[in-house]
Amino acid sequence: MNSTRKSIMDAVVVLFNEKGMKFTMDDISKLLHISKKTIYKEFNDKDELFYATVDYGFAAIKQKEAEIIADDSLDLVDKISKVIVCLPDNYRNIDFRQVYQLRDKFPVVYNRIAGKIETDWGETERLLEEAMDKGLIKKVPIPVIKLTIEGAIEKFLSTKELAKTHVTYEESLNSMIDIIINGLRV
Amino acid sequence: MNSTRKSIMDAVVVLFNEKGMKFTMDDISKLLHISKKTIYKEFNDKDELFYATVDYGFAAIKQKEAEIIADDSLDLVDKISKVIVCLPDNYRNIDFRQVYQLRDKFPVVYNRIAGKIETDWGETERLLEEAMDKGLIKKVPIPVIKLTIEGAIEKFLSTKELAKTHVTYEESLNSMIDIIINGLRV
DNA sequence: CGGAAACTTATATTGAATAAATAGTTTTTT
DNA sequence: AAAAAACTATTTATTCAATATAAGTTTCCG
């Protein structure tokens, strides 16, 4: 992949996290000091650019996740912890609270993201099921685990309560995973 | 409190859960087969009605909570579990996803609700702090616990994923609390 | 070639005008 | 005495034209 393409997609991520969906092709060209012509040489339209950016953004996560799963030095429960913490990088880079804005204007892109997230959860689900079968963790409905984790992440991202107490997003996430794996009880 | 007042406030809760904020004084009178005059004899205006309904709705929860806290047969960690499960009755009756609609049109009522929830959390927080001091549970930032629980509840209420897997809201809630207290690890 | 800017057309936003709905009151009916 | 219906003064929703914005194209220039 050529570097122009990459830098354009990086700019999309930067602008998305900065302004949500309210950024223009002109914003991209201004940020990178390139002409719109250059953007349109790489991507036929805005749709295609967003679609490619989604794939580009998720590729890193997928790879990281695959490494964790392949790492035989980790036991199953450690893998689950790490894969779950790995997952939120999506939420982080893409800033989940604003993704719903895509649904109407870029439905194809939105569905691509939804699909990617489902796939990512698929990995985690398989690990959870395996751990349940082996008696390493309790048998609990997986949707409960999934929704609890998703809900917590969205809350961490959307509230100002964490900032007030000087607890970082990263620390909160690790605390949350530890609570879910090991419980509050000592 | 007279029974007319009560039935009007019950109707408000019914209609709110049915239609969100989009119900009228006429809806109330139709539902109860009473005249609007009767409503306005009990409550000066819609604001006052809503305000009273909020207090009425939270009163039961507060009492239930107080009973749990006063129950000396329960140990501290059990109390925490029970108080947390007690809390969502608010979310249940009031259907939290729609409360934000109050913010603009009935700010006084909205702030009352926000205050009630904060107070409820205050109790839980005190129990959590006490349990941490006594070494019964891990020392974890309380906002992390709070946001995880709030996020999970909101997810349970807003998603259709639970319905698909035949896991009830009630079961999910108990599973979630068990996970947070005791962890997934066996 | 590729950046900068001008240009065109489709889409979004705004705001005034109008229509509809509703809180609160009054009158009529049972 | 209270329900039902009618009424009015506000609020709220809707419409539609104007205005503005942004995607995508073309032109010019270094």
Q: What is the pLDDT of residues B89-144, one digit of tens each?
A: 766 667 777 788 888 889 999 999 989 988 889 989 999 999 999 999 999 999 99
Least Cα separation, residue B64 to chain A (angstroms): 24
Find, among B23, B152, B20, the residue nearest to B99 by Cα: B20
B171 vs B92, higher pLDDT: B171
Is residue B112 assigned to a domain? yes
Within B3-99, residue ranges assigned H as helices are: 3-19, 25-32, 36-42, 46-70, 76-86, 88-94
Which helix (H) or strand (E) segment is B109 a member of?
helix B107-133
Residues of A in contact with B77 (CB under 8 A): 184-185
A91 vs A81, higher pLDDT: A81
Q: What is the pLDDT of residue A80?
A: 95
Is residue B60 assigned to a domain? no
Mean pLDDT of A4-14: 94
Name residues whose C-beta falls within 8 Å of residue B36's C-beta, 6 or more positions apart in sequence.
B25, B26, B29
Q: Is the CB of B35 under 7 A from strand D?
A: yes
For the stretch A121-155, pLDDT in tens is 998 999 999 999 999 999 999 999 999 999 999 88
Residues of A in contact with B150 (CB under 8 A): 151, 155
Is residue B24 assigned to a domain? no
Q: Which residue of B168, B178, B179, B182 is the best one to mutate when testing the A interface, meaning the one whose CB has the most A CBs within 10 A?
A: B179
Mean pLDDT of A25-43: 96
Mean pLDDT of A107-130: 92
Residues of A in contact with B176 (CB under 8 A): 144, 148
Q: What is the pLDDT of residue A77?
A: 96
Find, among B180, B70, B63, B77, the residue nearest to B127 by Cα: B77
Mean pLDDT of A159-171: 83
Q: What is the pLDDT of residue A50?
A: 96
d(CA A14, CA A28): 10
Q: Is the pLDDT of residue A91 over 90?
A: no
Mean pLDDT of A31-42: 96
d(CA A142, CA B162): 10
Q: What is the pLDDT of residue B102?
A: 87
Is residue A4 assigned to a domain? no
pLDDT confidence of B79, banded at 50, 70, 90?
Answer: very high
Distances (CA, A) of A181 to A97, A116, A136, A174, B44: 26, 25, 11, 11, 52
A75 vs A88, higher pLDDT: A75
pLDDT confidence of A166, banded at 50, 70, 90?
Answer: confident
> What number of CA atoms fall less than 13 Å from residue B31's CA on the CB side?
18
> What number of CA atoms fall less than 13 Å from residue B148's CA on the CB side?
29
Domain count, chain B: 1
Q: What is the pLDDT of residue B2?
A: 86
CB A130 within 8 A of CB A76: yes
Residue B132's domain spans which residues?
Answer: 73-182
Q: Is the pLDDT of residue A41 over 90?
A: yes
pLDDT confidence of B61, banded at 50, 70, 90?
Answer: confident
Least Cα separation, residue A173 to chain B (angstroms): 8
Smallest CA–CA distance from A157 into chain B, residue: B147
Tokens of A170: 């990263």
Q: What is the pLDDT of residue A93?
A: 66
Whether chain A has a CB inside 8 Å of the CB on B85: the answer is no
pLDDT confidence of A157, banded at 50, 70, 90?
Answer: confident
Q: Which residue of A79, A100, A147, A170 is the best one to mutate when testing the B interface, meaning the one whose CB has the most B CBs within 10 A?
A: A147
Percent of chain B's residues with pLDDT above 70: 95
Q: What is the pLDDT of residue B169?
A: 86
pLDDT confidence of B34, banded at 50, 70, 90?
Answer: very high
Which helix (H) or strand (E) segment is B130 a member of?
helix B107-133
Q: What is the pLDDT of residue B117?
A: 87
pLDDT confidence of B151, banded at 50, 70, 90?
Answer: very high
Please give the single-letter amino acid code of residue A167.
V
A157 vs B124, higher pLDDT: B124
Q: Is the pLDDT of residue B1 over 80?
A: no
Q: What is the pLDDT of residue B35?
A: 96
